[in-house]
């Protein structure tokens, strides 16, 4: 079943407007954000007015109703600017909205989707101090209490935790590890619920203006309808389905940021002179520029393919993982070459190349590390091969 998405003409006008907004408003604001480590409230309000928090939410809930292809193109366009702008909206859209659409009850959708589309900020709580992709090691527990639940545990490295109004929290509803991760359920937790607290923002290598912190839950009492989908044991499955969208979003972000870095290197190579001519004239500089262009084009092609497949209703788990791995590793190689093109200046904080290098490093880690995704891809390949052998 194909996903129609936003009207094509309206979408093209939106992308053109966003392209201008990124270059005329967001990029000039980057220095201030680096100095203050926060996105100004007026820019957040502008992003809300543009509908950036509700890109894929159904129109009946106040969203734009974009399909996956349109969403990914929007993220790639936005991610030409520093990563904080994508980070603040992406958890709402790629993770929590996706989980609600796939697994929420009608009442949960009616309550939360309009609030998320309007720009209330959400967090997604899977990772813990002792577990990430390993759900069997998850410690956060949800225990039935009367008609509701009591949650206890700590979530680590949670994006947007200091700003969030709601978090989608994964918690064990069974002490035993069950097949297909049925011991994990998902809960919608308003952040002002008694017993919920947020640790101080972690200091990071890069991505100024984007914040991560611990979410600590101590005897947090939740009503029965906080359980996503009103069903136990579906939390991890819902989380993994949401991660497909999240991985496409990270891949699209890495592709957009690689383009920004390469454009910067092109400009610098034409301005910087050595031996009496621009360094852009030197063949080994040209090789680094060309290799970067080739790899960005490959990532753009993968992005177009995986999103088209998702919109046709195909299971894209493996291809979304493959795209995320390639695009993020590609971005790492591009920003490394960009530092090299800048030479000594690339190591100085006053030039952009140094920041691009630090910002891009996390793309290979969050929403599934390259290594975890390689294992996942191989596992699915081997499973399919065995099935074909009968």
Domain spans of the chain? 8-120, 123-232, 237-389
Q: Which range among 34-48, 231-245, 327-341 shows the weakest confidence by mean pLDDT?
A: 231-245
Q: Six-digit token pair at 328?
A: 């993020």
Please say if the pLDDT value at position 135 is more than 80: no
Percentage of residues of the chain with pLDDT beyond 70: 99
- Locate 257 and state its tokens: 């940021």
Instruction: Give the confidence band of 240 by pLDDT, cuts at 50, 70, 90.
Output: confident
Q: What are phi and psi of 215, to 5 degrees?
A: -115, 120
> Nearest 5 degrees, angle CA 37-CA 41-CA 42?
125
- Give the pLDDT score at 133: 67
Which residues are registered as beta bridge partners of 143? Answer: 150
Say if residues 222 and 99 touch (Cβ distance below 8 Å).
no
Query: Could you give phi then psi for residue 184, rounded to 5 degrees?
Result: -110, 130
Interatomic CA distance for residues 344 and 354, integer angstroms? 10
- Predicted confidence at residue 245, as pLDDT, reads 80
Instruction: Provide the pLDDT confidence category of residue 241 given band limits of 50, 70 and 90.
Output: confident
- The superfamily (CATH) of domain 237-389 is Butyryl-CoA Dehydrogenase, subunit A, domain 3 (1.20.140.10)
- What architecture (CATH level 2) is domain 123-232? Beta Barrel (2.40)
CA 357 to chain centroid, in Å, comes to 18
The overall pTM is greater than 0.85: yes
Stretch 142-168: mean pLDDT: 95
The pLDDT of residue 261 is 98
pLDDT of residue 1: 54
- The confidence score (pLDDT) of residue 243 equals 74
Burial of residue 215, with CB atoms counted within 10 A of its CB: 0-12 exposed, 13-18 middle, 19 or more buried: buried
Q: Which residues are catalytic?
A: 367
* Mean of the per-residue pLDDT values of the chain: 94
Class of the 8-120 domain?
mainly alpha
Spatial neighbors of 85 by CB under 8 A, at least 6 apart, are: 26, 39, 47, 78, 79
pLDDT given for residue 2 in this prediction = 62
Give the residue-averaged pLDDT of 174-188.
87
Q: Are 122 and 116 in contact (CB under 8 A)?
A: yes
Q: Quick one: pLDDT at residue 47?
A: 97
Do the Cβ atoms of 83 and 91 come closer than 8 Å?
A: no
Query: Do the first three CATH levels of 8-120 and 237-389 match, i.e. the same topology?
Result: no
Of 12, 28, 25, 111, nearest to 62 by C-alpha is 111
Question: Looking at the predicted structure, is the pLDDT value of residue 374 above 70?
Answer: yes
């Amino acid at each position: 079943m194909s996903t129609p998405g936003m009207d094509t003409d309206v979408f093209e006008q939106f992308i053109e407007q966003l392209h201008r907004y990124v270059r005329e408003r967001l990029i000039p604001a980057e220095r201030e954000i680096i100095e203050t480590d926060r996105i100004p409230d007026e820019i957040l309000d502008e992003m809300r007015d543009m509908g950036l928090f509700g890109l894929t939410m159904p129109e009946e809930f106040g969203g734009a109703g974009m399909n996956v292809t349109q969403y990914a193109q929007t993220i790639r366009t936005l991610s030409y600017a520093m990563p904080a702008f994508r980070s603040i909206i992406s958890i709402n859209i790629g993770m929590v909205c996706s989980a609600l659409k796939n697994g929420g009850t009608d009442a949960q959708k009616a309550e939360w989707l309009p609030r998320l589309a309007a720009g209330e900020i959400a967090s997604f709580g899977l990772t813990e101090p002792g577990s990430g992709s390993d759900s069997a090691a998850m410690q956060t527990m949800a225990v039935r209490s009367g008609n509701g639940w009591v949650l206890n545990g700590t979530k680590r490295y949670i994006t947007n935790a200091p700003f969030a109004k709601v978090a989608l929290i994964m918690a064990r509803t069974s002490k035993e590890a069950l097949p297909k991760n049925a011991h994990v359920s998902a809960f919608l937790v308003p952040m002002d619920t008694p017993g919920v607290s947020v640790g101080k923002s972690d200091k990071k290598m890069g991505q100024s203006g984007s914040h991560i912190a611990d979410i600590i839950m101590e005897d947090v009492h939740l009503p029965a309808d906080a359980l996503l989908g009103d069903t136990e044991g579906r939390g991890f499955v819902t989380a993994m389905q949401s991660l497909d969208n999240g991985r496409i979003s990270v891949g699209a972000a890495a592709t957009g940021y690689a383009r920004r870095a390469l454009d910067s290197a092109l400009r610098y190579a034409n301005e910087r002179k050595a031996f009496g001519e621009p360094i852009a004239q030197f063949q080994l500089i040209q090789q680094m520029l060309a290799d970067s262009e080739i790899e960005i084009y490959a990532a753009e092609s993968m992005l177009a393919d995986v999103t088209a497949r998702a919109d046709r209703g195909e299971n894209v788990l493996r291809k979304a993982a493959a795209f995320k791995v390639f695009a993020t590793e590609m971005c790492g190689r591009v920003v490394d070459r960009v530092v090299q093109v800048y030479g000594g200046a690339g190591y100085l904080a006053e030039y952009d190349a140094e920041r691009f290098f630090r910002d891009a490093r996390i793309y290979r880690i969050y929403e599934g590390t390259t290594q975890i995704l390689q294992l996942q891809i191989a596992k699915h390949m081997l499973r399919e091969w065995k099935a074909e052998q009968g």
